[in-house]
Structure 1
Amino acid sequence: MLSFLHQFIPIGLLFLFLSYRNEFVDFSQTPWGKIFAVCMILLYTHMDKAFGLLVCSLVILYYQSEWVETFLNMKKVEEWEDEIMKKKQPEEQKVDYLDIDHPQSSVAQNEFREKHCKNGTLKYKNMDVKTDMTSHVFPEVKFNADKCNVCSPNCNFSIIESKFKAENKVKSKCSTNM
């Protein structure tokens, strides 16, 4: 009976390790798991000192090696597939543009002109902005045709709505207006 137990224990442990990897590793890290490992060493040492030494070295190797951590951190196949699929399909950022014919667009254009135009000249930090530099200084402005003076009512341009709304949310409100 004892020899059957000596032969069955390694097979059973290997089966448990391969079938229930996470639970096996979790159990081996508990005090009961460590007591079980010590009992295994004592059992095989009682049978034969060479077997006891072999089991002792295997237990030490198991607890000291980094592959136990690797088993704990291994991902399932589904997790790898999900991660690969996420990399293949980059998220598209949707930015809404206001059309020039849309009534909100003219309101946004007028509001932009009130904030940034003085005497028909586009200003940024009290400096004149040239027509060529408008898109660089104000990235929310998108010209529908050729570049033109945005302060002129004849200029066709759109304003990126999301940037415009975000700018209004970020700006502090005056306490006298509340």
Structure 2
Amino acid sequence: MPMGGAALDLTGVPLPEETLLAAKQSDAILLGAIGGYKWDTNEKHLKPETGLLQLREALKVFANLRPASVLPQLVDASTLKKEVAEGVDLMVVRELTGGIYFGKPRGFSTDENGEEIGFNTEVYATYEIDRIARIAFETARKRRGKLCSVDKANVLEVASRL
């Protein structure tokens, strides 16, 4: 089904209703690249990535699991030193729908000096933090039993402390 740039070219929107309906009726979705330079100057609601955010929101998909491993046959092809790349086996768990993705207010304005400014608001509810932490812990337990939590507590104190 078309989505992103392909959908924009075919239908004029980044996530057509037919695509969303098919996604909701599917057991799984295989998603490839959705954008490119061709649509970089489109207004926000007509950018390919807007379709991706709409899909995440509609399907309530909040966790992205990104495995990273280096196959022994390819360790010498890495730009990293062999002793660094060898044996890498990570799963990055990334939150997709909270925080800055959907936080409000957002937009453009003018500050007290007349300068144009842009802003996005990062908002997290405790349930959003809890659910992504649970996914990370469950994934770690099933894989190797190790978890490393990375956040921006040094500069983004609210979500980290909440």
Output the TM-score relative to the length of structure 2. 0.23
* Higher share of residues assigned strand: 2
* Higher share of residues assigned helix: 1
Output the TM-score relative to the length of structure 1. 0.21
